[in-house]
Amino acid sequence: MKLDLSGRKALVTGAAQGIGRAIADGLAANGARVIYTDRDAAGAKAAADAATKHPQGHLAFALDVANRQSIADTAKAALDATGGAIDILINNAGIGVKAADRKPADQFPIASWDEMIAIDLTGVFLMTQAIAPAMRARKFGRIVNIASVLGLVPMRLQSSYVAAKAGVVNLTRSTALELAADGILVNGIAPGSTATAGWRSWIHNATSAELDLHARLLSHIPLARPAEPEEIARGALFLADPGNTYITGHILAIDGGWTAGFARDF
Ligand SMILES: NC(=O)c1ccc[n+]([C@@H]2O[C@H](COP(=O)([O-])OP(=O)(O)OC[C@H]3O[C@@H](n4cnc5c(N)ncnc54)[C@H](O)[C@@H]3O)[C@@H](O)[C@H]2O)c1
């Protein structure tokens, strides 16, 4: 996808690897100056250094979206470095439910629930609070929140994740309603299973039970394969582009048909 993002500044959370990095790299490849943020500060720096060059250079900051002080510090540094002119915010940072924690709601570990809600849901809310006022002041902004198909159609044994991502879906819509008058368009992406580097190393070392689970998962996807991170990034770029002037409050599923219906007969 070719866009003209020259002169635009974008901040991406969780940009050290995976989907966030693919989105950040896509923004950079289309001319934006990108602020790579991640709790993996070295990873964010390495990703920013490897991105398509920008005349002013990309930026990289440590950021833990579950830590209010970290958000305040990084938002200030990012806004100072850009003269308060962040055009695009991609709320991508997120975690999954560890295999050992996958239990029914009545047995689900509370610490695992709290960590998930703090990162995957409250992190999106707090980052929006930190950056949206500067967008309001300039009467321009594009915010893209990375949810999940599991925020639209839940799966068993992952109550923290399905609740957090469903929260992101409706938070995206309500934020779109609230910020529309100030020229800020807010949309979400619901990726299906995506073949990030983490996923590749997991599948490489997976036990036979995990491989079996994965085969069953793929059987539910009409396109019968996971997405590449760049396929998710393509949708995020489309929604983040200033050329998107009339889509707001929308959740774009990029899921190989996962949420279209049942991919197999009964
Ligand atoms: N990969 C998938 O199959 C899939 C499917 C649906 C949705 N998603 C969503 O896409 C987003 C990215 O997932 P991914 O697969 O690329 O994951 P990933 O684990 O490859 O990358 C996530 C990045 O976020 C960072 N991160 C984690 N917690 C953070 C925190 N508290 N503060 C700042 N950074 C933090 C990590 O350091 C990492 O660099 C997540 O929100 C995830 O829920 C992924």
How does pLDDT run across 135-162, given as a tens digit for each residue? 999 999 999 999 999 999 999 999 999 9
Gap from CA of 64 to ligand 1 centroid (Å)? 12
Substitution candidate for ligand 1 out of 12, 23, 38 with most atoms within 8 A of CB: 38
Report the percent of the chain where pLDDT is more than 90: 88
Closest CA to 44 of 68, 28, 66, 67: 28
Report the candidate in 68, 65, 57, 69 with the shortest Cα–Cα distance to residue 15: 65
Calculate how far, in angstroms, residue 16's C-alpha sits from the geometric centre of ligand 1.
9
Select the CATH number that applies to the domain covering 9-192+228-255 from these four: 3.10.20.740, 3.40.50.720, 3.20.20.60, 3.40.50.10800.
3.40.50.720
Domain residue extents for the chain: 9-192+228-255, 197-226
Spatial distance between the Cα atoms of 248 and 265, rounded to a whole number of angstroms? 35
pLDDT at position 217 over 90: no
Nearest C-alpha to atom 17 of ligand 1 is from which residue? 18
Beta 9-13 vs 33-38: how paired, if at all?
A: parallel
| pTM listed for this prediction | 0.98
**Which of 123, 207, 221, 198 is CA-nearest to residue 168?**
123
Q: Is 161 a catalytic site residue? A: yes
Residue 72 in 3-state DSSP?
helix
